Structure 1
Amino acid sequence: MYDKTKFTQDLAIDRFIYAVENNFYVEAHELLEDDWNEYKKIGEKNKALVLKGLINGATALALYFEKKRPSGYEKVWPVFNKYMPLLDEVSLDNKDRFYYAKELLIKKNSLINN
């Protein structure tokens, strides 16, 4: 049987990583939303929250770097920090890609704090 969620998830996380690597934070934010909504719909709360964390990480960076709204960044980045510990608890295909995305967002965020 075709598993739409898995296929979308694999593509989405790779596209998300590419977007963040290339500083396309607004676009990155959009790339995980379908999977986030699907996990919410099927009751996979913690998986949805992990994606919410990654989405908010990209959103925070977009607010800071692209929208020039540091106060917005300060409100949104803590959501990333709040939900990232759940990554250790969930089962995801290609989980290493999600860890990489997390570390990439942290690395990009370190540019703000220097």
Structure 2
Amino acid sequence: MKIDYNIFNQKTAIDRFIFAIKNGYFVEAHELLEDDWNYYKKQGEINKALVLKGLINGATALALFHIKKKEEGHKKVWLAFEKYIPLLEEVDFEEKEKYYEAKEFLIKLNKMI
């Protein structure tokens, strides 16, 4: 799949992540939150890191289903999304509504499977 370079015009990692999942770039989306995930882990902000891990796993699960055609892998990885995403209620992100948007869009895409 050829990437749409408009992804790099997005302001923040979560903006780029949303752009990627909305355009079917699930593999790339997985990579876009990695730096923030590692940052929060190193800062000891474990719940924030786990929320990002959930979003990353949501994108990975969709990549496994749509790109790799691995239904069982999708199911296993989607469980990690479901495990960690409820922590979004407990953390404080700048522009938190974008994290909710990403969550809801991943859920919508997964329901279409």
Structure 1 residue 70 corresponds to structure 2 residue 80? no
Tell me what 1:37 maps to. 38
Report whether the alignment pairs 1:60 with 2:61: yes
| Identity level (%) | 65
The structural deviation recorded for 1:45 is: 0.2
TM-score by length of 1: 0.89
Aligned to 1:87: 88
Unaligned runs of 5+ in 1: 1-9
Q: Which amino acid aligns with 2:51?
A: V
Detail structure 1 runs of 4+ shifted over 6 Å in the superposition: none
1:7 matched residue in structure 2: none
SS of the aligned residue for 1:16 comes to helix
**Residue 97 (structure 1) aligns with:** 98
Structure 2 length as normaliser, TM-score?
A: 0.90
**Secondary structure at the counterpart of residue 12 of structure 2:** helix
Q: Which residue of 1 aligns with 2:25?
A: 24
Shift of 1:75: 0.8
- Where does residue 6 of structure 1 map in the other structure? none
Aligned residues between the structures = 103
The equivalent residue for 1:109 is 110
Over aligned residues, Cα RMSD in angstroms? 0.7
Which structure 2 segments of 5+ residues have no match? 1-10
The SS at the match of 2:39 is helix
Tell me how far apart the structure 1 counterparts of residues 26 and 36 of structure 2 sit (CA, whole Å). 17
- Distance in 2 of aligned mates of 1:27 and 1:89: 27
